[in-house]
Amino acid sequence: MFVRIQAEYTWNRVGRTIYSDLAGLIEIHEKIVYFPYRISIANSRSMMIKKTSKREDSIRMGEPRIYYIGLLHFSSEPGAEVEHVLNGLGPFYNSRQELIKIRAEHIRIHEIPVDYQTRYNLIIDRSSHRLSSAVGILKMFAFRGVSIVNNPLSFWWFVDNKDAAYGMMRDLGLRVPVTYLLPQHTTPYLQEKEFVYHEFFDWNKMMSDIGFPCFIKPANGRGAFGCNRAENMDKLLQFYNNSGSRVMMVQQAISSPFPWHLRCLCIGRKITPMKFVFRKYDLAEYIYDRDFLEPSTEKLVIEQAQIINRAFGYEINTVEFIIDHEGIPWAIDFNNPVPDGRRDKLGDAYFSDYVDGLVSLSLDKAFQDEPSPFLPPLNEYAEIARRPIPHEHRYLLALEQAQTYYDFKRPMAFQHDLNNPDQG
């Protein structure tokens, strides 16, 4: 028999239902088992979950094993909100029918021996780029089977190698603008006589392929720092001559009829297309609009984001597209493993999507409750990219591979609708 339960948690949010893929029922046999998988906003001040009656509370529940989630976010949003929601959930069975209870907390920073065994089953990393001592520690934990989001090998390899990422995605059949890689303008590690192996750049040939205007940007760029638009050869050479020792790329500028870009917020299996106006120096703007894309275009960008995320091993990322005059999306930036989570930038609705995604991802991990692979699944996609077949065929194979992750559904016991009291 399934019994409906209800509880209130104060949490300031937009008055709308969120976490729509989550369900929550209790099944009564000899003990209560609480599946806390739907959370909805009843109004702007209350978050509704299920709650047992006094009689139901008197039924003895088996003692759950604690599933520990460590959060590394410091003061950045939405860390505290996610922690609050996760700790408000009741016990539930994992995929092996073991009763578990989530306990989420911010990771404490202290000295550790190199053979330290952490108690965390899952760590959500949103700040190792601000705490360099965490990088090696997270790699050690991942090696020992702790599930790290994002995989630290993906995080720290691709975020500093966007040049390689562009080439890899073109090999898998995605539409990526024409991009050239440039040797560093200067480097302290080569003596002057060693530059004898450098050849003069064929700027004219390169720009006949790319065209003007174009963008010149660093291969390890973040926050659009060092990214500049060049309207002609003089400006391009000026930007390159001032780039110092940074590895630079020159990329085709895709012409679009729209004043906005498209940015997909990707968290776990949830991908949310967002309308986004690109501006440098933290002046970008998100515009709330759920219906700004044609259904066919939305399907295409979500599929491409799925391939990108799975090939690189990202479970948190944003993928940025530009839609050209023919309605074709071009992937222009897709290595952002710490997406902006500030409510004042995202707005309430997209912020709720962010929290929704992190909670759902955490529940998926807790339900599966098994060690994660140490290495991201790059070899599977490299094998596809090496096949002597047309790019469009590689694309379909890569999509099929990616969707083995995105098509995962929790069992039906976790999918019941709380609004139907007669289910079961």
CA distance 297 to 292: 10
Among residues 248, 419, 265, which one has the least CA distance to residue 338?
A: 265
Give the pLDDT confidence score for residue 29 in this predicted structure.
Answer: 31
Domains of the chain (ranges, CATH numbers): 61-175+256-424 (3.30.470.20), 178-252 (3.30.1490.20)
Whether 353 and 270 have beta carbons less than 8 Å apart is answered as yes
Question: 3-class SS at 249?
Answer: strand
Give the pLDDT confidence score for residue 104 in this predicted structure.
Answer: 98
Could you say which DSSP state residue 17 is in? B
CA distance 309 to 269: 10
Give the pLDDT confidence score for residue 396 in this predicted structure.
Answer: 98
pLDDT tens digit sequence for 310-340: 999 999 999 999 999 999 999 999 989 999 9
Radius of gyration of the chain (CA): 24
Give the pLDDT confidence score for residue 60 in this predicted structure.
Answer: 42
Whether 321 and 271 have beta carbons less than 8 Å apart is answered as no
Among residues 366, 356, 418, which one has the least CA distance to residue 48?
A: 418
Whether 67 and 100 have beta carbons less than 8 Å apart is answered as yes
Whether 386 and 18 have beta carbons less than 8 Å apart is answered as no
pLDDT tens digit sequence for 199-227: 999 999 999 999 999 999 999 876 677 89
Q: Which residues of the chain have pLDDT under 70?
A: 1-61, 222-223, 410-424
**Amino acid, single-letter form, for residue 160:** D
Whether 323 and 329 have beta carbons less than 8 Å apart is answered as yes
**Amino acid, single-letter form, for residue 372:** S
* Tokens encoding 67: 């599933």
Give the pLDDT confidence score for residue 61 in this predicted structure.
Answer: 55
The residues pairing with 132 across neighbouring beta strands, listed in sequence order, are none
pTM of the model: 0.83
**Amino acid, single-letter form, for residue 206:** M
Looking up tokens 């590689």, which residue turns up? 394
* Tokens encoding 70: 């460590």
Indicate the burial class of 102 (C-beta count within 10 angstroms; 0-12, 13-18, 19 or more).
buried
* Tokens encoding 323: 């839609």
Give the pLDDT confidence score for residue 4 in this predicted structure.
Answer: 34
SS (H, E, C) 70-105: EEECCCCCCHHHHHHHHHCCCCEECCCCCEEEEEEE
